[in-house]
Structure 1
């Protein structure tokens, strides 16, 4: 295909009026073109159906103000869309399934940005005429179809893995609610509500991220390491820093410790916890975090991490947090907030059951991530050469 061709050689702009009885579709950043009725946010319109644009199966509809961020979708059925969108239909030499993948490539996203106009970044618009002037050199139609089939297969596989992950997360939520009493008001036999400080030794870290000459080199377990993970293991990408000998003695993480967020930009994020799941070497608890070291006669670390996640414990943390732009806990709060504690034998069984489900979630998530990485590599192979052609034409 000639490098002098443009998207207008492969698409024509559809300006057909909408019709009553067709579903109203909306463009989303992550899910493409979806039924407006299915969106979590309700979007009302006073426009009549004929004031909308008609979109037909196989068309591409995009948000003029967000196309440079990849806000477009391929229509899987006929419908109507906002007149603020642009609708383009594929010509005979274009497979729109291929285009739906092609338009997500880094090079095409760059071109959508380069051909958008506006005084500021958040006011950029890609008008229909400018869309049609974007240089483009896609492969032949048979090759487009082959590429689309391969990438569609990846999308289907990723969707299946995501569905499995979602199902496992629902299973975990159900299991957690079945295991833990709703509150401390009416506890089953064998359960007690204990102050956190009765079952664990708690300390708040003040170790910052700075490296200072004369201090000892360490690796820091920081806020996001805890917030994004349920288990702290040696393979996490800890930050290099330094600390004093006293800080290392006080805040070096041990197997079984529970690390939790003690302050955050929102009170709701306080109390996110993760257990140190294995012995660590020279890993220090960083600023904005607390350590709850389980007292072995009362509680296990694995169980305590789950107990701290209980909704009413998190709510107690939220209510106790002080601040305006950043919220934080005082150590005194640890004497006042209670956790639910069964027998040690039951704790171990509960932690094992919940951990087994979380392990399955982690495995399925890694499989989905691996598929996404493979798809990214395939897209680079498919679209890399074409991107260079488009780049040269644009420049």
Structure 2
């Protein structure tokens, strides 16, 4: 999958933009306590409910007024820069104020950059704007916003995303089939010796 993603994004024809031209840094706070669902960054799944990651992180309910609002379609910069450091959000909620929220404009199709931000090509480019050592490395967002990317038109973005999503769905089906076959094999082996 990663080879296909790298290939699709490395052979792009289109306009070159700085990330600053494509994203606005959003600092909208949850001051009115409208949102209660706390989201966390997951490299594989994007932004997910904190309760779904099986880590019990304690926080004061009153402290969520200082949390940042993440909107459906936003990208969130988190600390795992060696894995890309950008998580796509397909839901609205709140997240830690330590995260940086990037809100794309209408030049970027919904979710188009979600796979690009985990590609080897992109992760390699982050070396220019990451600081620190090992897992504690952080991305200098101001410097990153000055970096450039080639972006095709919206129709081509949709086409590329459709291809990647179809392959991803096929992989999930094959993993489920493998799991079912493994359970069937275990059952048959257990009943064979009764």
SS at match of 1:48: helix
Matched, 1:164 2:177: yes
8 Å CA contact 1:116–1:130 kept in 2: the answer is no
Task: Tell me the CA shift for residue 129 of structure 1.
Answer: 1.5
Task: Tell me the CA shift for residue 83 of structure 1.
Answer: 1.1
Which ranges in structure 1 are unaligned for 5 or more consecutive residues? Answer: 180-345, 351-395
Task: Tell me the CA shift for residue 171 of structure 1.
Answer: 4.8
The corresponding residue for 1:13 is 25
Task: Tell me the CA shift for residue 37 of structure 1.
Answer: 0.7
The corresponding residue for 2:63 is 48
Q: How many residues align?
A: 178
For residues 149-180 of structure 1, the C-alpha deviation after alignment (integer angstroms, 9 at most, x for no partner) is 1111111121222233334445556x38x93x
The corresponding residue for 1:193 is none
Distance 2:150 2:181 in 1: 43
Whichever of the two has the greater Rg, that structure is: 1
8 Å CA contact 2:15–2:152 kept in 1: the answer is no
The corresponding residue for 1:386 is none
For normalisation by structure 2, the TM-score amounts to 0.79
8 Å CA contact 1:28–1:71 kept in 2: the answer is no
Task: Tell me the CA shift for residue 6 of structure 1.
Answer: 1.2
Matched, 1:103 2:117: yes
The corresponding residue for 2:83 is 69
Q: What is the 5 A alignment of 1:1-395?
A: 1-3=14-16, 5-18=17-30, 19-46=33-60, 48-63=63-78, 65-118=79-132, 120-171=133-184, 175=187, 179=190, 349-350=192-193
Distance 1:61 1:172, change over 3 A: farther
8 Å CA contact 2:25–2:101 kept in 1: the answer is yes
Which gives a bigger RCO, structure 1 or 2 (Cα 8 Å, sep 6+)? Answer: 2
Distance 1:71 1:172 in 2: 39
Distance 1:170 1:39, change over 3 A: farther
Task: Tell me the CA shift for residue 2 of structure 1.
Answer: 4.6
For normalisation by structure 1, the TM-score amounts to 0.41
For residues 213-262 of structure 1, the C-alpha deviation after alignment (integer angstroms, 9 at most, x for no partner) is xxxxxxxxxxxxxxxxxxxxxxxxxxxxxxxxxxxxxxxxxxxxxxxxxx
Distance 1:109 1:170, change over 3 A: same
Distance 1:45 1:35 in 2: 14
8 Å CA contact 1:57–1:76 kept in 2: the answer is yes
The corresponding residue for 2:6 is none
Task: Tell me the CA shift for residue 104 of structure 1.
Answer: 1.8
Distance 1:110 1:22, change over 3 A: same
Distance 1:125 1:37, change over 3 A: same
The corresponding residue for 1:336 is none
RMSD, matched Cα? 2.5
Distance 1:105 1:67 in 2: 12
Distance 2:37 2:143 in 1: 28
8 Å CA contact 2:47–2:87 kept in 1: the answer is yes
Which ranges in structure 2 are unaligned for 5 or more consecutive residues? Answer: 1-13
SS at match of 1:12: strand
Distance 1:72 1:169 in 2: 34
